[in-house]
Amino acid sequence: MTTSGHDVLILGGGPAGAAAALSLRRHAPTLSVALVEQSSYDVPRVGETLPPTVRGVLEQLGVWEAFVGQGHVAAYGTCAAWGSDELYDNEFIYHPAGRGWHLDRSRFDRMLSREAEGRGVVTYSGYKFTDSRHNGGVWRIKAKAEQGREAEIEASFVIDATGRRAAFARQREVRKVLMDELVGVSVTFGTDEAEPFADTYTLVEAWEEGWWYSALLPGGKVVVFCMSDADILKRRGLNSAAAWLGLLEQTRHTKGRVRHATPLGAPTVHAAQTQRLERLAGDAWLAAGDAATTFDPLSSQGILKSLRSGVLASYAVMDYLKGAPSGLEKYEALTAREFEDYLYARADFYGRERRWVDAPFWRRRSESQAKLAQQATV
């Protein structure tokens, strides 16, 4: 077993964890920072679309040029059939930054980790966080690699950036608050070389029991998601390729995008619930990114939110280690305000779809909207 000590230990090397590490090295270079990441960034991850506004955060972290050099596929906007059968466009061209990007998530996350490592962050790649103890003002964290190697890491402060699992916070018995039961079932398609997929738009199409999402992936592939609540997807058996593809054929627009494409595998299920932790910080720890809050994929803000969360977390940690624990309270307040704003925006957008108001999926969103409105008047 290897043992080491650091000022700050970050659990999770996704966008939030890497952003926190980069920000700490940029603004507090005297602090020793370590990052534990379960993967080695070699397993394909479902891509996402980054909005143009991400440039400011990446420049703030000092990784903009590295990001541009990766050559992610340009995304110039979103087409949506929402509220009617007809498509309407939301073009990034009207934004000063000009365009967004369809991410190769594995490459993006790996780039952030390598940039952090190049700036002095100690990385434990391929190690899974397993246990934590707090004694004498010091955290003792255990992590284990697949080959059986173990590491015990001591730290003055811990950032939980373990994603939806919020593994560290859950060991503190912090409860998750679920806002819905949204789940996505995806299939990746390979395009025919004779008819390559050239449309760079993200496509969103509402249906009676949820909505469809499709976007480009690296290598000329296309990922298509069917989004609905867990009970609806289970009832329809959409983890079955036959059922999933049969439902795809009932769409008006989405099926056309993959008319000349071939499914590359069976449907894959992804958690997509909106959730938050009941508290985001404690004695010398805080949660960041999806460990703290998760956004509906419809928002297209997930990665951007995680990057910003990592930066804000780094500021709170710096304040704490300087003897100002109020930084944690400020971080919680800012995150809570952001989450509340998101809930109102989410309710507003779902509320624009009125074609199936009595269907369970849409009725549940309408009830959530009514509850928010009621709370606002109290």
Cα 321 to Cα 122, 324, 325, 369: the distances in Å are 19, 7, 8, 40
Continuous segment of H or E residues that includes residue 224:
strand 221-229
Contact 232, 361 (CB under 8 A): yes
* Cα angle 300-314-175, degrees, rounded to a multiple of 5: 65
Q: What is the CA radius of gyration of the chain?
A: 21
**Among candidates 214, 187, 258, 183, which has minimal Cα distance to 80?**
214
Gap between the Cα atoms of 292 and 328, Å rounded = 13
Tokens of 195: 């008819």
Paired sense of beta strands 2-11 and 33-37, if any: parallel
Three-state DSSP class for 54?
helix
**Among candidates 66, 58, 124, which has minimal Cα distance to 303?**
58
Gap between the Cα atoms of 222 and 213, Å rounded = 10
Tokens of 375: 């709370």
Identify the pLDDT of residue 353.
94
Contact 156, 210 (CB under 8 A): no
Domains of the chain: 1-44+105-179+275-378 (3.50.50.60), 49-102+181-272 (3.30.9.100)
**Among candidates 76, 77, 70, which has minimal Cα distance to 104?**
70
User: Would you state the torsion angle of the CA atoms of residues 41, 43, 46, 47, taken in this order, to the nearest 10 degrees?
Assistant: 50
Identify the pLDDT of residue 378.
46
What string of DSSP letters covers 285-338? EEE-GGGTEE--GGGS-HHHHHHHHHHHHHHHHHHHHTT-THHHHHHHHHHHHH
Identify the pLDDT of residue 374.
64
pLDDT tens string for the chain (378 positions)? 566 799 999 999 999 999 999 999 999 999 999 999 998 887 767 767 888 889 999 999 999 999 999 988 888 778 899 999 999 887 544 445 557 888 888 899 999 999 999 999 999 999 999 999 999 889 999 999 988 889 999 999 999 999 999 999 999 999 999 999 999 999 999 976 666 666 778 899 999 999 999 988 877 889 999 999 999 999 999 999 999 999 999 999 999 989 889 999 999 999 999 999 999 999 999 999 999 999 999 888 889 999 999 999 999 999 999 999 999 999 999 999 999 999 999 999 999 999 999 999 999 999 887 777 666 554
Gap between the Cα atoms of 190 and 197, Å rounded = 9
Give the residues across from 34 on adjacent strands: 9, 122
